Structure 1
Amino acid sequence: MLELRHLRQFVAVAEELHFGRAAERLHMTQPPLTMGIRQLESLLGAELFHRTRRSVALSPAGLALLPQARRLLAEAEQFGPLARAAAQGTLGRLRLGFVSTIGYGPLPGWLKTFREAHPGVELALREATLDVQLAAFEAGEIDAGFVLHAPGDRLSGFGAVRVLGEPLVLALPADHPLAAQVRVKATPVLSEPLVIFPRVISPSLYDAMLAFYRDRQAGPRIAQEAIQMQTIVNLVSAGIGVAWVPESVTRLQRPGVVYRAVEDAGLACETSLVWRLPQHPVVRRFVDHVTAAELSSHKETP
């Protein structure tokens, strides 16, 4: 079987064109070097050197093999650094799921700085709701994901770190009577037709929103369900109803829609970065990066 030692011996002799000097370079004696070259020639079925008592020269086969042997040895030298980089999470591929709401917030900045700090990590992004991400985790298609949920909720069997907490605000058609108020009260909202996401895409948050109505002895008038926040906001602009959305969605400016805080609602949501256990090194590197960035942003906020 061809071994790297054969290639090292061949390259040393090819570059020195002298078995004695090549043996010294390899810190070995000449007889085993001569035997190693003969083994290589036997394995390849070709003579690599023309030898005389006074000279050593590369044969046509040796001339053809030399650049390939150098390339293989150079690649073999990278095995150690590559393995260490992969083990440390600075090399590899991170398949990341994310809900659209985090895209309106800090996610673009986190991705930019992570790519700059870890150019050896390839990012593969997939926008997906919680239910789609769970299926992707099960199928081994993503490594980590940003998910939206009610405050304090956790996914069983996953590692998680909370990265964002924010209130829910009300998206209203611009011509709605409540839109004229800077801040609105909860009571007038209870009877308004509601545009909401299906429960399956965030059960804990959906249940928290319905509990808001039940606690006030009201039943939500669900006018329409939609999956994406952008679609929900568009339906509000069409006058289909009002919608509770994370505060970060207010960065999505849509003609015909205004956003208002509801003073006595107390509704909020959280976004967490989740991953399957045990944690992959690249995932650990990304989690550490996001956590550090989030801590830094809190320190900078007066």
Structure 2
Amino acid sequence: MDLVRHLRFFVAVADEGHFGRAAAALDMTQPPLSQGLRRLEQHLGVDLIHRTRQGAVLTSAGIQLLPRARLLVDDADRLHAESQRIANSRGAIHWGATSALPDGMVTACVTALRTRLPADTHSAAAESGIVDGNDSGATVSTTIGTTVELVNEVRAGVCDFAVVEHPALVDGVAAGPVVKLPRWVVVPDDHRSAGAERPTFPMLAGLAFAGPPRAANPPAFDTVVDLLRERGLDVPVEVARDDRTLFAAVAAGTSFGLTATPPSGTPGVAWLRLAPQAIALRLRVIRRPEAAAHADVIDRVLYRERLR
């Protein structure tokens, strides 16, 4: 009997509470699903599901065994993903970067990886992002995402390593030292703070704070909100998932935000240097155990760029 396949049936029925919906979720018909679940129950020697007219209800044994069944199914999925990664991505380096990392630093990291690592380095194949490479260096795939997404991808083996924001929950992965990058407050260029000789945080009252959603990295989000409140600002928050969205909201005259992108001639946007130590962008490299060389390369880039 294919134990993992039949455990997948059990998990699907438990999640859906209905055999028909579980069959649809598994892209199969109901009879083989019911038969498979019966075979699983016979194999385990316990009833897992009560079959009722209203649907499917877990038995006492089913309730106790469901968490273990989920773990086995999830581990099987991870094993499959890892095997595909190894089979499809030889000679590639797959890394991730938080969307808070400026574009110039992302490309600096890619360039360093291409030129400093051997061409036969193994890593994950990219699902999205920037892909680059040549015959003389390693092929580099970059995924841009939230800190929560990147931590999960490193844990699952989809990414070999990633640059994420600090603080963050990084259990289950190796984490390097924290590096601080300069960050600025951006405001509408016609806002009173933009022309002030000594701008202050209270001047930003009346504007919304535009930043990543809390779900992107709850610890970092709460740290920034607490900082603003300590500085006298208790303002509404609107979602800006990256600098492009942030600059658009600021140029519209309704919002301010934080960016590690250095001052530039962006129309409608002014850069302010407020509490530079307090608002600095804190980053660290997280990695899988075998990606120590990769992490060292990125750490050197971050330390070098922070001094510019």
Identity %: 19
Bigger CA radius of gyration: 1
After superposition, what is the alpha-carbon deviation per residue over 1:138-182, rounded to whole angstroms, capped at 9, x for unaligned? 4432111111234xx562222122363134421111111111125
Distance 1:172 1:272 in 2: 27
- Aligned pairs (5 A) from 1:160-239: 160-162=175-177, 164-216=179-231, 218-222=233-237, 224-239=238-253
Distance 2:235 2:176 in 1: 32
Distance 2:156 2:305 in 1: 34
Deviation at 1:211, TM superposition (A): 0.7
Against the structure 1 CA distance between its residues 110 and 217, is the aligned structure 2 distance closer, same or farther, given a 3 Å change threshold?
closer
Deviation at 1:218, TM superposition (A): 4.4
Distance 1:94 1:237 in 2: 37
Distance 2:252 2:286 in 1: 35
Q: What is the TM-score of this pair, normalised by structure 1? A: 0.58
Match for 1:291: what amino acid? D
Distance 2:207 2:277 in 1: 15
Report SS of the residue matched to 1:250. Answer: coil
Tell me, yes or no, if the aligned pair for 2:112 and 2:301 is still in contact at 8 Å: no
Tell me the residue number matched to 1:270: 282
Which structure features the higher share of strand residues?
1
Against the structure 1 CA distance between its residues 258 and 202, is the aligned structure 2 distance closer, same or farther, given a 3 Å change threshold?
same
Tell me the residue number matched to 2:30: none
Against the structure 1 CA distance between its residues 294 and 176, is the aligned structure 2 distance closer, same or farther, given a 3 Å change threshold?
closer
Report SS of the residue matched to 1:162. Answer: coil
RMSD over equivalenced CA pairs, Å: 2.9
Higher relative contact order (CA 8 A, sep 6+): 1
Against the structure 1 CA distance between its residues 103 and 163, is the aligned structure 2 distance closer, same or farther, given a 3 Å change threshold?
farther
Deviation at 1:125, TM superposition (A): 1.2
Tell me the residue number matched to 2:45: none
Match for 1:271: what amino acid? L
Tell me, yes or no, if the aligned pair for 1:104 and 1:251 is still in contact at 8 Å: no
Distance 2:98 2:249 in 1: 19
Tell me, yes or no, if the aligned pair for 1:163 and 1:294 is still in contact at 8 Å: no
| Structure 2: gaps of 5 or more residues | 1-89, 120-137
Q: How many pairs were matched up?
A: 202
| Structure 1: gaps of 5 or more residues | 1-90
Q: What is the TM-score of this pair, normalised by structure 2? A: 0.57
| 2:247 corresponds to 1:257 | no
Tell me the residue number matched to 2:107: 108
